[in-house]
Structure 1
Amino acid sequence: MRLYAIGDLHLSFKPNRAALEALEPHPDDGLILCGDVGEKREHLALAFETAKSCFEHVFWVPGNHELYTMPGDERAAEEREGRGEDKYMECVEIARSHGVHTPEDPWVRWEGEGGPAIIALTFTLYDYSFRPPHISRENALAWAKEEGIEATDEALLHPDPFPSKDAWCHSLIAKFERRLEAAQAEGLPLIIVNHWPLRQDLVEIRQVPRFSLWCGSTLTEDWHRRFNAKVVVTGHLHVRRTDWRDGVRFEECSFGYPRQWSDAKGVGVDVNGLLREVLPGPKREETGGRTVWRRYG
């Protein structure tokens, strides 16, 4: 019984939906969906239904795209998407209806290969703190706009009922810190799962470096040490890689937009080859602790 992960399926893209159809059965294994499944209910339903048909256990954490409230919604008022926290809870209920574990559920003890361990599903958002020391929070968005960068989140991701995304982020971090502390007391290592990277030094987006503002919070930089992490699993960056910090393995497991996995497709690697093995996973001695770039899986 192995544990795999993939993030950023972005099922609003037709080629990504077609790619997901090729997912092969793993009847005894588990799969983590590491956020950014898509923006609409039907995207989540498709991902969860497909994943559950192939894997015994499926785990999901939200990314920013699941939290989008899309414009031009013509449905009746009672069927329209919520905003902010309400939209998140709508996604949680869709996941639960398909038998998928969410950050709002009791965390699962993994007894398969590489275990035992607790799969700690978290949701942190971001607070614009992944920025140079000389850039203030007040000037952060202007700093990014200097290079023509502004995340779609600024138009579609709402923090309701919180006054700002920063405030929502800090509330979430406090909530999940309490849960991590309680889980740590059980004496087992944790598999910490979050859509956004936990550490700023793992955010390397060479084409748009100032996009780092929307990539996490410095408040989670030491979570892997504080909470006895065995592996940290994230997505969001669309830069597949394996890293080691303080003896802890960090896995960025994005699938990405069609243009970002076309190179892998070109050498015969499909969605199955881009699943990341979380447990048992590679050993540090195999890489010498160096970054392993996973462009082709």
Structure 2
Amino acid sequence: MAQTEPGPELMRVFTVSDLHVDYDENDQWVAGLSTADYVDDLLILAGDVSDMPQRLGRTLERLALRFRTLIYLPGNHELWVVRDRTHEDSFAKFDEVRRIAHESGAVQQVWHGAGLRIVPLYGWYDFSFGEPSRDLRLAWTDFRACRWPEGMTPAMITDAFLARNPTPVAAAHLATITVSHFLPRIDVMPDFIPPAKRIVYPVLGTRKLEAQLRAWRPVTHVYGHSHVNRDQVIDGVRYVNNAFGYPGETRIAAKRLLCLHET
């Protein structure tokens, strides 16, 4: 079901992703956000806050208090179960993350308000951007930190998350923004990425997300995960990644809120 909110006459839509508040300086940045400047505004938070439930809840509560509306969907880090061993698998962790988000005041369904429609889309990666190398399989934390039902392949995991996404509904009177944590297409990655760093491309997302988001006819798609800030138009859709990233990622991440839209 969609959540409808009339909203104020003047509203700004901000976005950020990949806050990684397990790092103290990232956590302090969130705590230091103004409690007065954004009270009429909306924040899209596109995943990767923390794998620890208590830290996740605290961060979402802080942001929900600062913004009129907080729209959130989890990333891959939220589904790690190695430090928080209370879950049968990462699907069970996903369910708890959704519960925490709801209790913290975050919106997780299609949102309508102020002439806008914002559509969160779940996903994973299915190697449609390339086959992972042996080095990637050894280095990528998800392969150790997530746990899935026996026999599930990455393609099956991806399909399970995509199946949770809402069915597109026509709404010509609304400007639509779709949101995912994972990349919907690999060509959003810039040419300056060196070949050695492209080893991670197979675990960045899935082409199936691109098909889902296009069905909503968005003006903008927001994503995260890559930590490479981008703002570009491809085939008529604006693709935006405003990742906060790890503390040392000062060249590829701006470490600020980005205003996407004003009414």
TM bin (shorter chain)? 0.7 to 0.9
1:198 Cα shift? 0.9
Counterparts of 2:243 and 2:228, CA distance in 1: 7
Counterparts of 1:81 and 1:159, CA distance in 2: 11
Q: Which residue is 1:163 aligned to?
A: 152
1:30 Cα shift? 0.7
Q: C-alpha deviations, 1:187-224, integer Å up to 9, x for none?
A: 63321110011111113443510201111112223444
Q: Conserved in 2, the CA contact under 8 Å of 1:58 and 1:100?
A: yes
Change (3 A) 1:257 1:171: same
Whether 2:112 is the aligned partner of 1:117: answer no
1:41 Cα shift? 0.6
Q: Which residue is 2:128 aligned to?
A: 129
Q: Conserved in 2, the CA contact under 8 Å of 1:126 and 1:215?
A: yes
Name the stretch that deviates more: 26-35 or 166-175: 166-175
- TM-score, normalization by structure 2: 0.85
Change (3 A) 1:15 1:214: same
Counterparts of 1:148 and 1:83, CA distance in 2: 19
Q: Conserved in 2, the CA contact under 8 Å of 1:69 and 1:156?
A: yes
Bigger CA radius of gyration: 1
Change (3 A) 1:48 1:260: same
Secondary structure at the residue paired with 2:40?
strand
Q: Which residue is 2:58 aligned to?
A: 46
Say which of 183, 193, 199 aligns to 2:179: 193
Counterparts of 2:18 and 2:238, CA distance in 1: 20
Change (3 A) 1:33 1:167: same
Q: Which residue is 1:70 aligned to?
A: 82
Whether 2:2 is the aligned partner of 1:8: answer no
| Structure 2 gaps, min length 5 | 1-10
1:55 Cα shift? 0.5
1:130 Cα shift? 0.7
Counterparts of 1:226 and 1:159, CA distance in 2: 29
Tell me which stretches of 4 or more aligned residues in structure 1 moved more than 4 Å: none
Change (3 A) 1:186 1:244: closer
Whether 2:258 is the aligned partner of 1:276: answer yes
Name the stretch that deviates more: 57-66 or 198-207: 198-207
Figure out how many residues of one structure are paired with residues of the other and give that number. 248
Q: Which residue is 1:95 aligned to?
A: 101
Q: Conserved in 2, the CA contact under 8 Å of 1:35 and 1:63?
A: yes
Q: Which residue is 2:111 aligned to?
A: 108
Counterparts of 2:62 and 2:219, CA distance in 1: 28
Q: Which residue is 1:249 aligned to?
A: 238
Counterparts of 1:214 and 1:276, CA distance in 2: 25
Q: Conserved in 2, the CA contact under 8 Å of 1:127 and 1:216?
A: yes
Q: Conserved in 2, the CA contact under 8 Å of 1:149 and 1:210?
A: no
Q: Which residue is 2:188 aligned to?
A: 202
1:110 Cα shift? 2.5
Counterparts of 1:28 and 1:172, CA distance in 2: 32
Say which of 14, 18, 21 aligns to 2:28: 18
> Superposition pairs for residues 176-191 of structure 1, below 5 Å?
176=165, 179-181=166-168, 183-184=169-170, 188-191=174-177
Secondary structure at the residue paired with 2:44?
strand
Whether 2:92 is the aligned partner of 1:86: answer yes
Secondary structure at the residue paired with 1:221?
helix
Q: Conserved in 1, the CA contact under 8 Å of 2:16 and 2:243?
A: yes
Change (3 A) 1:172 1:160: same
Q: C-alpha deviations, 1:69-124, integer Å up to 9, x for none?
A: 02474xxxxxx23422110010000011111112xx4x11031xxxx121101111
% same residue: 26
Q: Conserved in 1, the CA contact under 8 Å of 2:52 and 2:84?
A: no
Counterparts of 1:223 and 1:13, CA distance in 2: 33
Say which of 42, 66, 70 aligns to 1:58: 70
Q: Which residue is 2:8 aligned to?
A: none
